[in-house]
Amino acid sequence: MGDPTGLALWARLVAKGRTLRGRHLRQLFAEDPARVEDFTFEACGLWADLSRHLVDRETLSLLLALARLQEVEVWRERMFAGERINTTEERAVLHVALRDPEGPPLWLDGVEVRAAIRRELERMERFCEGVRSGRIRGATGEGFTHLLHIGIGGSELGPRAVCEALRPEVREGIEVRFVANVDPQDLALALRGLDPARTLLLVVSKTFTTRETLLNAQAARAWLVAGLGEEAVGGHLLAVSSRPDRAAAFGVPDERIFGFGEGVGGRFSLWSPVGLPIALFAGFDRFRALLEGARAMDRHFREAPLERNLPVVLALLDVWYADILGAESRAVVAYDESLRLLPLHLQQLEMESNGKSVRRDGGEVHCPTGPVLWGSTGTNGQHAYFQLLHQGTRLVPVDILVAAESRIAETDGRHLELVANALAQSRALAFGRSDAETRRELMAEGLTGEALDRLLPHRRFPGNRPSGVILARRFDAATLGALLALWEHRVFVQGVVWDIDSFDQWGVELGKRMAAELLPVLSGEMDGEGLDPATRALVARIRAWRES
């Protein structure tokens, strides 16, 4: 533990990076016939081919030694044991307990955590069954058809991405609309066509203090009141929070408030009642399958030797790229339309967790930490930013996600077309094309001499660009649970290696405070004295436009 860059091993990794930079993936494959086998990992329905990453076996063993020196195994057990490893907030990290409700008793401050988790799960199940079966109805006696989910950040991205991911399997259920942004357009558009008599309003906020969420919740509540009257609203309101007192003060009836512990961070909370929209939309059985898939990955993370441990190996590759090879970003490209929101959830997971420059003891970090994570679906991304991935100047490791089978019945081969594209991109990135082949292709197009030579550099595919393929049979609820838990542990292991607290997010506070301070200046109640000149000038322009 401590600053990893101070270790003698770190210097060896840097030296190894220098040697490997001069090698091409083509060479690495040629020299090691067992490379594919050695760099293929299987866990919980996921098959990960990591052979096209810019590493060799020695790199991996150095990285594994780094994980051991940084006590990854010790920190992992401390997390599962419910120790307060989120040191800056003095909190335990309990998302793993959420998917193991029947596990051995887990005590925190004299309270057995799993009993509370089981109780909330049972309440969720009863409620879901009631709403989905039509037993629980709205004030006018009609059944609910829609859920309006209000929440932001971790209180939105995870459940929204999962609902979208399960959509191909869902034939009937409650339709969910998500509202996160305080921009009034978000709620206004979500309300279009909704019938208040058939709509449940769910407010999700761990703290129940987030301004965007409270403002949207008030506006949505007013919409319910306008449609149904004040008396009726209670029957249409529900909340998920770790501060039930605040949800009750907002007017949510006690029996409609679902809770989770403070030790569950927002971006790790979809396994808690924050996953209520998933259960209402896709059914409680699928929510349970999601938890079970995640629990299977927790077991893999705890039990597999580090050498074969998928989250550990992925995290170590991330450290390798960020710190030794200097990659500033990573891309995740999901060849699965239903995973289109996944990159946004993963972006929060990684960047809010590991976008840190201070170590646990308050000392500065001396190496880059969390890279920029971005991405979208394939094949769409191929027609947008893949040019840069293939021929640009930056090193961008790519995670390619793809399913062998489609969840939509089709007979015209479009799914295989999708799969072919996923595999082809990884292949083209890694191996590129030799100049001789490019020359042949240009000649086949009728080019010769100077014209050919002029075009050749532009048509060159150098390759040696890393990617990993994470393959599933299909991304059903259980496999999705495993994939999401895999990513959580990946982020956790990165943080342990960097010696940072991955579970706080102090960096989001200052901007929130400043926004609150600016409001009275923007509305003209206060002058902008004390503001910096740039903000003052912007405020003046905005006020001039709004007032003219």
Contact residues: ligand F6P, CB under 6 A: 152-155, 205-207, 210, 213, 266-267, 352, 505, 508
In the DSSP assignment, the letter for residue 352 is H
Nearer to ligand F6P, 213 or 382 (CB): 213
Catalytic residue among 352, 356, 415, 489: 352
Nearer residue to ligand F6P within complex by CB, 267 or 286? 267
What SS3 state is found at 446? coil
Q: How many CB atoms sit inside 10 A of residue 294's CB? A: 28
Q: What single DSSP character describes residue 5?
A: G
In the complex, the smallest distance separating the C-beta of residue 213 from ligand F6P, rounded to whole angstroms, is 5
Closest approach, Cβ 298 to ligand F6P, in A, equals 21
- 3: number of CA atoms within 13 Å, CB side? 14
Contact 9, 66 (CB under 8 A): yes
CB of 486 to ligand F6P, least distance (A): 20
Q: Which of 37, 90, 102, 383 is catalytic?
A: 383
Q: Give yes or no for a contact between 202 and 240, defined as CB atoms under 8 angstroms apart.
A: yes
CA pair distance 506, 513, nearest whole angstrom: 12
Residue closer to ligand F6P (CB basis): 267 or 356: 267
CB of 336 or CB of 352, closer to ligand F6P: 352
With beta carbons less than 8 A apart as the criterion, state whether 58 and 13 touch.
Answer: no
- In whole angstroms, the minimum distance from the beta carbon of 95 to ligand F6P comes to 12
Residue 311 beta carbon to ligand F6P: minimum distance, rounded to whole angstroms:
21
Nearest residue to the partner ligand F6P, using Cβ: 266
156 is an active site residue: no
236 noted as active-site residue: no
DSSP per-residue letters across 30-77: HH-TTHHHHTEEEETTEEEE-TTSS--HHHHHHHHHHHHHTTHHHHHH
DSSP string, 524-538: TSS--TTS-HHHHHH
Euclidean distance between CA atoms 201 and 278, whole angstroms: 15
Q: Which pairing describes strands 40-43 and 146-150: parallel, antiparallel, or unpaired?
A: unpaired
CA-CA distances (angstroms) from residue 390 to 50, 467, 496? 18, 11, 32
What minimum distance in Å lies between the beta carbon of 508 and ligand F6P? Answer: 4
Whether 405 is a known active-site residue: answer no
Cβ proximity to ligand F6P: between 249 and 424 the closer is: 249
Which ranges constitute the DSSP H helices of 200-319? 211-228, 244-249, 276-282, 284-303, 310-319
Q: In this complex, which beta carbon is closest to ligand F6P, that of residue 337 or of residue 504?
A: 504
Residues annotated as part of the active site: 352, 383, 512
